[in-house]
Structure 1
């Protein structure tokens, strides 16, 4: 059983598809910093440079999702659920002009999922 570290709601997938049509391939990054960094940020793929201080969590809507390592330490016991709500998000995130913003929700992994992640060394 592969445990998904990040998933997206149907509403988020719908917005991702709309943004892909307008901007091409996308990527997400959540830094955990103040202000904009505490929300998942959506960029054209390759526009945000990821490196050794970032963790790849998976894909949502075909877009890779990364999180800063130090932030991941706080979230690693949970599955991230990327949702979308009305309102203005980060000023550099592509969904801003849509009047929407991506939002991270989470749920704690089950005991079975935690054991599977431990097998994978995570």
Structure 2
């Protein structure tokens, strides 16, 4: 990975907890200002399928970001449930994160667009 390949701006958003909305339902609350960074984007897979008489789609991508104090927390156990990625105003659930070749230079974030 080369730093010139980081052309897409993403936001890594941190889960803060549940907040009750005006209807009394709990909604997740996120800190959308946790960390904004440049990333490299790779399309991993995309498919449409029919389940329960509804057309669904699955879009999985990999964001590659620089390894730093704000991103290394994504490698901790359970971090995929505490963070999400926002890219082009769409929310992506984090599926898996890995330290690219264990060099502490890049982190690959595999994510799926929320449906």
TM-score (norm 1): 0.22
Higher strand share: 2
Higher normalized contact order (CA 8 Å, seq sep 6+, divided by chain length): 1
TM-score, normalising length: structure 2: 0.23
